Amino acid sequence: MPLDVHQFPCLSDNYGFLIRDRATGLAACIDTPDAKAILAELGKLGWKLSLILNTHWHPDHAGGNAEVAAATGASSVGPAEVERLIPVDRKVGGGDTVMLGETRFDVIDSGGHTLQHIAYHDAADHVAFVGDTLFALGCGRLFEGDAEQMWASLQRLAALPDDTRVYCAHEYTASNARFALSVDDDPALKARADAVFAARERGEATVPTTIGAEKATNPFLRAPLLAARVGAAGRAAHEAFGTVRAAKDNFKG
Ligand code: ZN
Ligand code: FE
């Protein structure tokens, strides 16, 4: 039975996601960027929330947990690091399984942006919620982990089927595209960047993306191929990645 996904923009550039297992009608939210927006969307949909699925501890991801739980009775699932902010009912990490009715999520360790960041993968529906690990044409900043950890996390996501729909937590794609064009002149990237700029002009979301699109055009996943251009020729894959990541951190586009 399919999973319904309802996506809505909130805060300055976050996306909120409400999901529902069609077989049982049970619903969950991915992270809690904005409790009031989540509760308003739930009201519009008429869905009853049973789970909060956190990807990492940052306040724009777990800051609304208390208000959402108090209003809905939902219980929370997330990495232990979320307890830096608020207690979590069930702590999970890579290899664990989370059920929403009949929908199964495999928890994927995607540390690097924060040390215990996780992603939720529903293999049956070809859907992954990746928080701040993988973005359309981008990836999360290395606030806590290092290039080696983040590269390993990105490789775990890149190993998912190409048609996996990837729900990233921020609309950063236009600025990611400007950076990508500065380090890569691949025609597929140019075409995608043009489509991204046009979509944003029209006010359209560029999320979700797919694993296939990211493998083809995301400069962070393509880092080993771009090593020479970023001054990391002959270096290990995670070092090439780290060089591209540092170039993005310093990019004034
Ligand atoms: Zn974050
Ligand atoms: Fe975030």
CA of 133 to the centre of ligand 1 (A): 8
Report cis status (omega within 30 of 0) of the bond before 187.
no
Proximal ligand: closest to the CA of 82: 1
Percent of the chain with pLDDT over 70: 100
Full residue range of the structural domain in which residue 42 is found: 3-249
Average pLDDT over residues 195-206: 98
What pLDDT does 16 receive?
98
Task: Determine the longest span between alpha carbons in the chain, in angstroms.
Answer: 55
Average pLDDT over residues 170-177: 98
Proximal ligand: closest to the CA of 11: 2
Proximal ligand: closest to the CA of 115: 1
What pLDDT does 161 receive?
98
Spatial neighbors of 79 by CB under 8 A, at least 6 apart, are 54, 55, 56, 57, 88, 91, 92, 93, 116, 117, 118
**CB-proximal residues (5 Å) to ion ligand 1:** 58, 132
CA of 108 to the centre of ligand 1 (A): 16
What pLDDT does 79 receive?
99
For residue 216 the two structure tokens come to 């083809």
How many helices and strands (H and E) does the chain possess? 9, 14
How many residues appear in the chain? 253
What pLDDT does 227 receive?
96
CA of 28 to the centre of ligand 2 (A): 18
CA of 58 to the centre of ligand 1 (A): 5
Phi, then psi, of 165 in degrees rounded to 5: -80, 125
pLDDT tens-digit readout, 18-71 = 999 999 999 999 999 999 999 999 999 999 999 999 999 999 999 999 999 999
CA of 105 to the centre of ligand 1 (A): 21
Query: What pTM was computed for the model?
Result: 0.98
Say yes or no to pLDDT of 171 above 70. yes
Which has the higher per-residue pLDDT, 165 or 253? Answer: 165
CA of 58 to the centre of ligand 2 (A): 7
CA of 169 to the centre of ligand 1 (A): 9
Query: pLDDT class for 253, splitting at 50, 70, 90?
Result: confident
pLDDT tens-digit readout, 205-229 = 999 999 999 999 999 999 999 999 9
Instruction: Find the CATH number of the domain harbouring 74.
Output: 3.60.15.10
Average pLDDT over residues 177-199: 98
CA of 23 to the centre of ligand 2 (A): 31
Average pLDDT over residues 73-86: 98
For residue 52 the two structure tokens come to 């909060």
Counted domains in the chain? 1
CA of 22 to the centre of ligand 2 (A): 28
What pLDDT does 93 receive?
98
Say yes or no to pLDDT of 197 above 80. yes
Proximal ligand: closest to the CA of 30: 2
Q: In the sheet that 103-109 helps form, which strands lie side by side, from edge to edge?
A: 97-100, 103-109, 118-122, 127-131, 165-168, 209-210
What pLDDT does 83 receive?
98
Separation between Cα atoms, residue 75 and residue 55, nearest integer Å: 15
pLDDT tens-digit readout, 97-107 = 999 999 999 99
Say yes or no to pLDDT of 1 above 70. no
